[in-house]
Amino acid sequence: MSYIDACRLSISELIAHLINKIFDTGIIPKQLKISIVRPIYKGGNKTQYDKYRPIMLLPALEKIMERYVSIHLKAYLKKCEIITESQHGFQEGKSTTTLLAGFVDKVYSSLKWHAWLCNIFRSEKSFRHARS
């Protein structure tokens, strides 16, 4: 048995205490605000900065807090019925892939039955690219 296994209960109680203290006070220790940013190459010309995307390496406690907040936020949004069925973010089993699959099905059905189809897309990212 490793030292961490032997101390698991103590460590989990300490982590829970720290997280509760942060949520109670609203103060995040400076050490948890520090992250390491690493560029990840996406492909293409390696000398162009836009061919990289940044990822942030966060402290382990920060990742635990992020997961905790995510779980509770999703539960709250579901309980209070804030997110509709058509919303694909913040919902289990839904993603941009399921959104696009549903959209493609509607387009296909509309074309099959010669129905009118109109969709308006708005994305800040696509507008930025359109202006460049």
Q: How does pLDDT run across 12-67, given as a tens digit for each residue? A: 888 889 889 998 999 988 888 888 999 999 999 999 989 999 998 888 888 888 88
**Is the model more confident about 122 or about 105?**
105
* Neighbour-count burial for 51-67, b at 16+ CB within 10 Å, e otherwise: eeeeeeebeebbebbee
Strands (E), the chain: 36-41, 52-57
Tally Cβ neighbours within 10 Å of residue 92. 7
Could you read off the pLDDT of 48-59 as tens digits, one per residue? 989 999 998 888
Structure tokens at 109: 């059905």
**pTM for this predicted structure:** 0.53
- Which residue would you say has higher pLDDT here, 41 or 77? 41
